[in-house]
Amino acid sequence: MGGLFEDVEDEIYREKRVLKEEYQPDEILERDSEVEEYKHALTDALFGRSPDNIFLFGKAGVGKTAVTNFVLSELQREALRRDTADEIHVTKVNCNNQSVYSAVRHLVNSLRPEGTASFPKKGPSTADAFEELYTQMERLGGTHLFVLDEIDHLSDPDPLLYEFPRARANGHINEAKVGLIGISNNYTFRNTLSAKVKSTLMEHEISFSTYDAGELKTILTDRAQRAFVDGTCVDSAISACAAFAAKDDGSARQAIDLLREAADAAQKAGSTTVTAEHVERVRKQVNRGQLRDKIDDQTMHAQLVLEAVARQQLADDESVRTKRVQKRYEPVADAWGHDHLTSLKSIQNHLDDLHMLGFLIRTDENKGQTGGRSYRWEVDMNLKTVIEAREEIEHDAQPPE
């Protein structure tokens, strides 16, 4: 009697990992101008000078991380070849829901020698963590590039963004050099920084636009050639994935996920060819997953504000005034066990950000002779799906019993 998996064969995939999020392409497609800007901003590092600080802005899935990994890998390789370049150390930290202390602690532990005890989670101050980080930077020397992914999620980023650019001027480091690379999905993040931080950073900004259908098709065609056995993925399937993703949010991640899910559906059905019909079959499922990811990419308070609008809009069956959002927001935050924002202005700022990012539609409300400006808000996506996605995010964040 044969085993359960005895009849399993893979007639579609040659290298499935090419369609996974963690895959790093060895060639960056459809981002030539962004790569060139990045290259220019980092050129000083090849001559032993401190590099520019760089901030990348753009929606999730538009290539910010892939381009960063590619450019920094190329920079490190070139630096090894040049006598004028110091050794380049790249350290990455995801700032989602982290404090300045925890982010600096992560950088410290990444630079400490192997076998050394980790820097404590609790006890030392943030100043102690910075001091230890500078000690490790000086020990290693060279140029340190700190990649701060989801920098807009960092609680109170001002101290960190003010500290690093002034580290050499303040005598914290002498031999080592440092450059910051901030990655954010929020185009308005810079507006939240204090004036002194903005003037200190003097960063080089690179904006990543969404992909159009033609660009997505180029990317998908390249991935398909690597991922699939020759002849198993028809061109119409690639075109369908590109068209759907371009119409939604221009995300390469969404297009690639859609192609992978379509191939899995074909494989499950016993087909040896991935077609546009398979793409259509899995589209709703992938869109739901992508929506959850897009919501999860936002800060916790932005998510709570979005959920408040969705729940109030569902209850009223109409768009929602800002003060109504605030009244709904507070019990939503309490229900999930989160401290809530106390000012209407803070909630208005999150509403503006969510509008700019495409989550909300904003309409002016005519206040008649009283004058002033007032807005109404509505969620620009399925309300129940938004609420279900938020519930999933909260439940997944709960610690196991």
64 annotated to a ligand binding site: yes
CATH code: domain of residue 286: 1.10.8.60
Which of 174, 207, 240 terminates a domain? The answer is 207
Do 44 and 150 sit in the same domain of this protein? yes
375 annotated among ligand-binding-site residues: no
Residues 144-171 have pLDDT tens digits of 999 999 898 887 888 889 988 899 989 9
Question: 49 and 127, same structural domain?
Answer: yes
Residue 134 marked ligand-binding: no
Same domain, 279 and 242: yes
Question: What confidence score (pLDDT) does residue 187 get?
Answer: 75
Would you state the pLDDT for residue 372?
59
187 with 43, same domain: the answer is: yes
Residues 309 and 233 in one domain: no
Domain count, the chain: 3
Domain containing 244: what range?
A: 211-294
One domain for residues 193 and 272: no
Average pLDDT over all residues of the chain? 89
Choose the final residue of a domain: 177, 207, 237: 207
Same domain, 251 and 183: no
63 marked as part of a ligand binding site:
yes
Domain boundary among 207, 225, 246: 207
The reply to whether 223 sits in an annotated binding site is yes
Helices 300-316 and 276-296 pack at an angle, to 10 degrees, of 110
| Same domain as 182, residue 46 | yes
Confidence of residue 2 (pLDDT cuts 50, 70, 90): low
Residue 13 lies in a domain: no
pTM: 0.77
Residue 401 pLDDT exceeds 70: no
Domain identity same for 81 and 128: yes
Q: Are residues 236 and 378 in the same domain?
A: no
Q: Across residues 325-350, what is the average pLDDT?
A: 90
Judgement on whether residues 224 and 241 belong to the same structural domain of the protein:
yes
User: Average pLDDT of 201-221?
Assistant: 93
255 & 186 share domain = no
pLDDT tens per residue across span 373-391: 678 999 988 888 899 889 9
- Residue 11 maps to a domain: no
Give the pLDDT of residue 382. 83
115-143 pLDDT tens trace: 899 999 989 999 999 999 999 999 999 99
In a domain, residue 12? The reply is: no
307: CATH: 1.10.10.10
Q: Does a structural domain hold residue 3?
A: no
- Is 59 a domain residue? yes
Q: Which pLDDT belongs to residue 91?
A: 97
